[in-house]
Amino acid sequence: MNNKDIAEVDLQYIWHPCTQMKDHEVIPIIPIKKGYGVYLEDFDGNRYIDAISSWWVNLFGHTNEQISSAIKKQLDELEHVIFAGFTHEPIVRLSKRIVELTPTELTRCFYADNGSSGVEVALKMAYHYYKNNREDRDLFVSLTNSYHGETIGALSVGDVKLYKETYSSILINSIQTPVPADQSIEAAVEAAVALEECLANHKDRICALILEPLVQGAGSMHMYNPLFLKLARELCDKYDTLLIADEVMTGFGRTGTMFACQSADISPDFMILSKGLTGGYLPLSIVLTTDKIYDAFYCEYSEHKAFLHSHSYTGNALACAAANATLDIFESDNVIENNLEMADFLAKEVLVFNKLKEVKSTRSQGMIAAVDLMGFDTNRRVGVEIHRYALDKGVLLRPLGHTIYFLPPYTITKEQLKYIFQVTYEAIESL
Ligand SMILES: *Cc1c(COP(=O)(O)O)cnc(C)c1O
């Protein structure tokens, strides 16, 4: 079988995510046969460096030996079990480890199976927490340009028009306050002033502020100063509002620290983890919360305060085995510390793009770097052009609009990064 054989059947039967399917009349879909390390290989034998960690999930390469063998081992023991009334060893071990790794006030793990459903859980829990305390708070606050997933609740608190606008009349109540304009301290302070005004104006109606700490992923890898997180935490306390940290993308070392909240030394009321949690192997998410929240639900069944939310695959044992193996690698390979050098390299090398007249700005945070282009008609799909150029040269990029970003597996080498940058540079020149 070659690429063409598989692509033909694919396009006959499948509707792909986040895709205008008609595009595939001219853009070939690429059937991947295997993955190893940072490489993906298609059925025609072409290989691509996965510079975006397969939609930001992969941390230690494809078919990583340690993670693969942990899943195989778990497979012979227990694949899955109902998670109400039952539990299993991998999830107990994982939960204890995650609580120990995250900020101290986070003491409880609630499980779901992807980032969006994790966000739904946090939103519902926040709302329900006030309800259990005899308050009806029907409003969520989020930052402009934020992204929290595609399900209705998650979409409601997001602010990327491209995904949201169509559904505006069926979304839940949320308002947006400005995200800091850039990575400066001044921008953080300015945004905190606006946040305070927002919280003060809607006091007693707001049940939570939800944000992506440090880096807004789908919002074109927009980055801001950790000071804003500190100020946001203080303001949530001052105005008695819960803080939800959506670390679905930023968690597990992506922004430099194990969790982005730790860059500001804050403890949110909820922390949502997914993407890197299983090393990019299997869908799983965790919503961590505090004793304060947990205790508001803990009472006699007849009081009707329990959180009656579940997903069929909640707490899947194979996914938990993958997550434990991922944490093993963090421990044994000193990942956070070793990433510092690579993050430095990324930060320096990305500056090269400023030489190009098509480049407006560059930025980086930990293991993410981004390049904004300028001067192109907004209707021109520059990102698609860059994507196709890079694929031809064996690099998988997936720009967000006119922003090109790099979010590689942590196992990438400097040589591979240099190649990615060289190809991207040529791709921009070719526009
Ligand atoms: C990807 C993402 C989500 C949604 O996760 P899914 O697993 O795709 O549903 C939510 N929040 C952030 C910050 C994300 O990057």
Tell whether the model's pLDDT for residue 141 goes beyond 90.
yes
Q: Which of 249, 272, 285, 368 to mutate to test the pocket of ligand 1 (most atoms within 8 A of CB)?
A: 249
* Element containing residue 325 per DSSP (H, E): helix 317-332
**Would you list the domain boundaries of the chain?**
3-63+334-429, 68-332
Residue pair 171/137 in contact by the 8 Å Cβ criterion: no
**pLDDT for the residue numbered 194:** 98
Percent over 70 (pLDDT), the chain: 100
Q: What is the DSSP letter of 59?
A: S
Burial class of residue 212 (count of CB atoms within 10 Å of its CB; 0-12, 13-18, 19+): buried
Is residue 146 in contact with ligand 1, taking CB distance under 6 Å?
A: no
**pLDDT for the residue numbered 426:** 98
Q: Could you identify the atom of ligand 1 that is nearest to the CA of residue 146?
A: 13
Q: Is 144 left (phi over 0), alpha (psi -120 to 50) or beta?
A: beta
Residue pair 103/259 in contact by the 8 Å Cβ criterion: yes
Tell whether the model's pLDDT for residue 231 goes beyond 90.
yes
Q: Using 50, 70 and 90 to split pLDDT, how confident is the model at 221? A: very high
Q: How far apart are CA 12 and CA 416, in angstroms?
A: 36
Mean pLDDT computed over 349-372? 98
Mean pLDDT score across all residues of the chain:
98
Tell whether the model's pLDDT for residue 203 goes beyond 90.
no
Q: What is the pLDDT of residues 15-48, one digit of tens each?
A: 999 999 999 999 999 999 999 999 999 999 999 9
Q: Which two tokens stand for residue 284?
A: 């799983």
Q: How far apart are CA 348 and CA 275, in angstroms?
A: 27
Mean pLDDT computed over 277-292? 98
- CATH code linked to domain 68-332: 3.40.640.10
Q: How far apart are CA 226 and CA 249, in angstroms?
A: 16
Q: Using 50, 70 and 90 to split pLDDT, how confident is the model at 312? A: very high
Mean pLDDT computed over 276-286? 98
Tell whether the model's pLDDT for residue 122 goes beyond 90.
yes
Q: Which of 275, 313, 400 to mutate to test the pocket of ligand 1 (most atoms within 8 A of CB)?
A: 275
Q: Could you identify the atom of ligand 1 that is nearest to the CA of residue 151?
A: 9
**pLDDT for the residue numbered 134:** 96
Length of the chain: 431
Burial class of residue 280 (count of CB atoms within 10 Å of its CB; 0-12, 13-18, 19+): buried
Tell whether the model's pLDDT for residue 270 goes beyond 90.
yes
Tell whether the model's pLDDT for residue 152 goes beyond 90.
yes
**pLDDT for the residue numbered 109:** 98
Pairing of strands 285-290, 106-112: antiparallel
Mean pLDDT computed over 136-153? 98
| Residue with CA closest to ligand 1 atom 5 | 115
Q: How far apart are CA 203 and CA 225, in angstroms?
A: 26
Of 3.40.190.10, 3.20.20.140, 3.90.1150.10, 3.60.15.10, the CATH number of 3-63+334-429 is: 3.90.1150.10
Is residue 251 in contact with ligand 1, taking CB distance under 6 Å?
A: no
